[in-house]
Every structure is written in structure tokens, then in C-alpha cells.
């Protein structure tokens, strides 16, 4: 397997910018190019049958051969991205797939068998909820949804056939944060696996594996790619879990194209700079919004008013770029506010350099009837602001002028 020049170098506990730039990349590359080449090939050839025999033996006895054979089993550009992500998460291995949902669904399909059960904490990405409660049912897999932050309910939901607990942290859109010590203590004692979708944190702010979580998942589409131009997903953890996942990938074909791997590798180079800026900017914006009479409520983990403020302050380097809030008024007033904004664009997604606002009742949750949306806490006045890398003062001035218009 490719080894990067930083292996063996001591790092501080959290992801550093040095790692974001160099980890996973070989020092010497084809044609002396500085950047990781995009290897645009589906097929890799053998000079002689003896080379093929060596390769086959390698594959049989060692799951990670030194070279490629066919695009569905691996690609050098994708492998460089996997090595970088493994290093950033402090994981033995990382598997890159076509999207964040590709990572969520592959993990659940691999780990859960018919007749088994798993626990999902509520306030999660809606497609994850759909897959867990709808799609997996046809395979005889049961799911219990427990209220986020209720560890007694979480433990009470564990049955003999429970295989794993799946949670996001911070969650979408209320930025609820896990108490990892409580989660992993319960999981260890009851012998269930833990899987955490840590997309909203990025490895810059949080490394769940350090707390004893078994697998960490990211939508690379968000902060890691960082430029709203490429989709991808990753699952990182121990070899005993990632090796069967890699074998399953070769079977199901849930792959990332090398061009997209390159874009994401390039995006990650500035991860620390971008997320550090987003951490500071979003906190300042959350404090600003909390002081506005036309804003009813703000959810940001590093505000004292947030239900998980204590665990967030203890475990996160920063709370990332997402600030959720409710306009004091109705849907019409909320839409007038959104239409008055000049910098953030209206759209889905988060984590890129451009600020984006999402009226969540219309976006993501529009498929649900109003009473089901309300049960999830999604009111018509709820706005998710995903702070980009624009100047904080410009964003605050823009929010201020838009609030003045309603």
C-alpha cells in the first residue's frame, strides 16, 4: 500500500494543516509532478504472465496489492484520497465511495443482516432516516429511533439482536452533539458497534475514532471537498470492518471517479484554513443572530443556550459553519428575509466556500406532510445558514440589512 511521507511524524491530537496538505501523497510521483496525477484508466496491464502470477498471489494473501488491475477494485488517485482521509481521521483505513449516502448505505448494508436491529438517534439527515426506516425493512432489518441526547432511552432500546448504534454529530439541522464517552461506554458494555456520521464536524474539529467509535462517515461533498463542485463519501475505521466493506464495494460498484477524487484531494488541502475561518465566522454570526429581536431562536453548539453546549465545548475544536435559526414570524416573513439577502444563495447543502441559506421546510423536508415536519422540529420559519468563507463582517452586515427589511 502507498505510504505517505508523514507516517511516523508526530502530530497534535487534532488534524493539522500539514496533514491536510501532505498526508496520503507519495513524495515522488510520475513525471515529477507535484500534484497527485488523475489516473484516468479503467484497465491496468501486466508485462508478463509472471507479473500476473505475483499480483494474484498478492491479492490472495494480502488484501491490498501494490498495483491496480481493474477500476472497480481500485484507482491510484482514489487511493491517495483514501490514504489522506485515513490519516486525517487517525484511522487504519478509509474507503471512498460515490457520495455521503453511498457511505451510509454501504455501511448499514454491510453490518446488518436480516433479523438484526439497530438504533438511530433522531434529528438526522432525512435520507438516512428514510433508508433506515423504509428501505432496510424489506431486508428484515429493524430500526429504533431514539431521542438525541437521551442515553437512558438509547440503552433501553438495545435488544439481543441489536448490532449497532448510528448517530450524527453535530446533527442536521439542530447541531446536537454526542457525549462520546457515554455513547461508547454503553456500546462497549452492551457489545454493539458505533457508527458516527461526522460530516458537520470534519476531522479538523472532531475525530470520533479517538473516543472509541468503531466507524466514522463523512459526506465528502460538504466541507472536505469544500467547493460545492464534487460529490463523494468516506467510511473510516479499523481494517476488520473496512476490509469487508472494500470487498463489498468491488461487488456493488459504489465508486468515486478519479476526476472527483482529484477535486476532493485538492479541496482538502485548504480544509484547516477554511474550517478555522468558518468556525470563527459562524460563532460570531450565531452570537449576532441571538441578539436580534426578529430572531426567535438560534441553534449553535458553542452558544451557552444550546442544549449540548457543555459536551460541544469539551470535545469540539470549533463547531463548524452551520447556524440554524427561526425568524420570529411566519413563513411569509421568513421568505421575505431570505429574498432580501444579497450574499448567501438559496439552495441545499453546506460546507463549501459560498454561504448558502436553506428554508428547510421547503428544502429537504418538503416531501413530508406538515405535521411530520413539525414532529421533527422543522417549522416554516426555520432557516439553516451554512457559512462560507466570505468576510464575517460582510455576512453580518447582509443579515442585518435583510432583517431590517422585515
Active site residues: 72, 125, 197, 222
Nearer residue to ligand PLP within complex by CB, 16 or 349: 349
* Residue 151, Cβ density class (10 Å: 0-12 exposed, 13-18 middle, ≥19 buried): middle
Min dist CB 269 to ligand PLP, Å, is 20
Residue 217, beta-bridge partner list: 197, 235
Min dist CB 220 to ligand PLP, Å, is 7
> Cell 484531494, residue?
265
Residues 61-100 that bind ligand PLP (CB under 6 A): 99-100
Of all residues in the shown chain, the one whose CB is closest to ligand PLP is: 100
Decide: 91 and 237 in contact? Cβ < 8 Å.
Answer: yes
SS3 212: coil
DSSP E strands in 244-381: the ranges are 295-299, 322-327, 345-346, 356-359
CA distance 401 to 393: 12
Whole-angstrom Cα Rg for the chain: 22
Nearer residue to ligand PLP within complex by CB, 79 or 222: 222
Give the x/- contact pattern for ligand PLP in 122-161, rule: CB under 6 A.
---x------------------------------------
Nearer residue to ligand PLP within complex by CB, 311 or 386: 386
CA distance 158 to 153: 9
Min dist CB 167 to ligand PLP, Å, is 10
Q: Is 380 in the site for ligand PLP (CB under 6 A)?
A: no
SS3 328: coil
* Residue 269, Cβ density class (10 Å: 0-12 exposed, 13-18 middle, ≥19 buried): middle
Contacts (Cβ under 8 Å, ≥6 apart) of 314:
none
Nearer residue to ligand PLP within complex by CB, 99 or 278: 99
Question: What are φ and ψ of residue 239, in 5° steps?
Answer: -55, -35
Number of residues that bind ligand PLP (CB under 6 A): 15
Q: Is 205 in the site for ligand PLP (CB under 6 A)?
A: no
Min dist CB 4 to ligand PLP, Å, is 25
Q: Is 306 in the site for ligand PLP (CB under 6 A)?
A: no
Nearer residue to ligand PLP within complex by CB, 75 or 99: 99
Residues 11-30 that bind ligand PLP (CB under 6 A): none
Contact range with ligand PLP by CB under 6 A, out of 218-226, 264-272, 332-340, 353-361: 218-226
> Cell 430572531, residue?
295
Rounded to 5°, angle at Cα 325 from 322 and 329? 155
Choose, by CB under 6 A, the member of 112, 231, 235, 389 that binds ligand PLP: 231
Contact range with ligand PLP by CB under 6 A, out of 217-225, 326-334, 368-376, 387-395: 217-225
Choose, by CB under 6 A, the member of 75, 132, 144, 219 that binds ligand PLP: 219
Choose, by CB under 6 A, the member of 168, 214, 308, 381 that binds ligand PLP: 168
Classify strands 93-97 and 233-237 as parallel, antiparallel or unpaired: antiparallel
Q: Is 334 in the site for ligand PLP (CB under 6 A)?
A: no
Q: Is 254 in the site for ligand PLP (CB under 6 A)?
A: no
Min dist CB 173 to ligand PLP, Å, is 9
Cis peptide preceding 170, ω within 30 of 0: yes
Choose, by CB under 6 A, the member of 121, 123, 146, 199 that binds ligand PLP: 199
Choose, by CB under 6 A, the member of 203, 233, 318, 320 that binds ligand PLP: 233
The closest of 205, 207, 239, 249 to 96, measured between CA atoms, is: 249
> Cell 460529490, residue?
231
Q: Is 361 in the site for ligand PLP (CB under 6 A)?
A: no
Residue 208 CA neighbour count, 13 Å, CB half: 31
- How many separate helices (H) and strands (E) can be counted in the chain? 15, 12
Min dist CB 329 to ligand PLP, Å, is 27
Q: Which residues bind ligand PLP (CB under 6 A)?
A: 99-101, 104, 125, 168, 172, 197, 199-200, 219, 221-222, 231, 233
Amino acid at each position: 500500500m502507498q505510504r505517505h511521507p508523514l507516517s511516523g511524524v508526530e502530530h497534535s491530537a487534532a488534524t493539522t494543516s500539514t496533514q491536510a496538505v501532505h498526508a496520503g501523497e507519495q513524495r515522488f510521483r510520475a513525471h515529477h509532478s507535484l500534484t497527485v496525477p488523475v489516473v484516468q484508466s479503467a484497465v491496468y496491464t501486466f508485462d508478463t504472465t509472471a507479473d500476473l502470477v505475483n499480483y494474484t498471489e498478492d491479492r490472495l494473501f494480502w488484501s491490498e496489492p501494490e498495483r491496480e488491475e481493474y477500476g472497480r477494485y481500485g484507482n491510484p488517485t482514489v487511493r491517495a484520497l483514501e490514504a489522506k482521509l485515513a490519516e486525517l481521521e487517525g484511522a487504519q483505513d478509509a474507503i471512498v465511495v460515490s457520495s455521503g449516502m453511498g457511505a451510509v448505505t454501504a455501511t448499514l448494508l454491510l453490518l446488518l443482516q436480516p433479523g438484526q436491529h439497530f438504533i438511530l438517534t433522531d434529528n438526522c439527515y432525512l435520507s438516512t432516516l428514510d433508508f433506515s426506516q423504509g428501505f432496510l425493512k424489506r431486508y428484515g432489518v429493524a430500526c429504533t429511533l431514539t431521542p438525541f441526547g437521551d442515553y437512558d432511552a438509547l440503552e433501553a432500546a438495545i435488544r439481543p439482536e441489536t448490532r449497532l448504534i448510528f448517530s450524527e454529530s453535530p446533527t442536521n439541522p439542530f447541531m446536537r452533539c454526542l457525549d462520546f464517552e457515554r455513547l461508547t461506554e454503553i456500546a462497549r458494555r452492551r457489545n454493539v458497534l458505533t457508527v458516527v456520521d461526522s460530516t458537520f464536524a470534519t476531522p479538523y474539529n472532531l475525530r470520533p475514532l479517538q473516543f472509541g467509535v468503531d466507524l466514522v462517515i463523512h459526506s465528502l461533498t460538504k466541507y472536505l471537498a469544500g467547493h460545492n463542485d464534487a460529490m463523494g463519501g468516506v467510511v473510516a475505521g479499523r481494517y476488520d470492518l473496512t476490509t469487508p466493506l472494500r470487498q463489498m464495494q468491488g461487488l456493488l460498484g459504489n465508486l468515486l471517479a478519479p476526476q472527483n477524487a482529484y477535486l476532493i484531494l485538492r479541496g482538502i488541502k485548504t480544509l484547516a484554513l477554511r474550517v478555522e475561518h468558518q468556525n470563527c465566522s459562524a460563532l460570531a454570526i450565531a452570537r449576532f443572530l441571538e441578539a436580534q429581536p426578529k430572531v426567535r431562536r438560534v441553534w449553535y453548539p458553542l452558544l451557552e443556550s444550546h442544549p449540548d453546549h457543555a459536551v460541544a465545548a469539551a470535545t469540539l475544536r470549533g463547531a463548524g459553519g452551520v447556524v440554524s435559526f427561526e425568524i420570529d414570524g411566519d413563513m411569509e416573513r421568513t421568505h421575505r428575509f431570505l429574498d432580501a439577502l444579497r450574499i448567501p444563495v438559496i439552495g441545499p447543502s453546506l460546507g463549501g466556500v459560498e454561504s448558502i441559506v436553506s428554508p428547510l421546510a421547503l428544502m429537504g423536508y418538503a416531501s413530508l406532510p406538515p405535521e411530520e415536519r413539525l414532529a421533527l422540529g422543522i417549522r416554516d420559519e426555520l432557516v439553516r445558514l451554512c457559512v462560507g468563507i466570505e468576510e464575517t463582517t460582510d455576512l453580518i452586515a447582509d443579515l442585518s440589512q435583510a432583517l431590517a427589511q422585515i
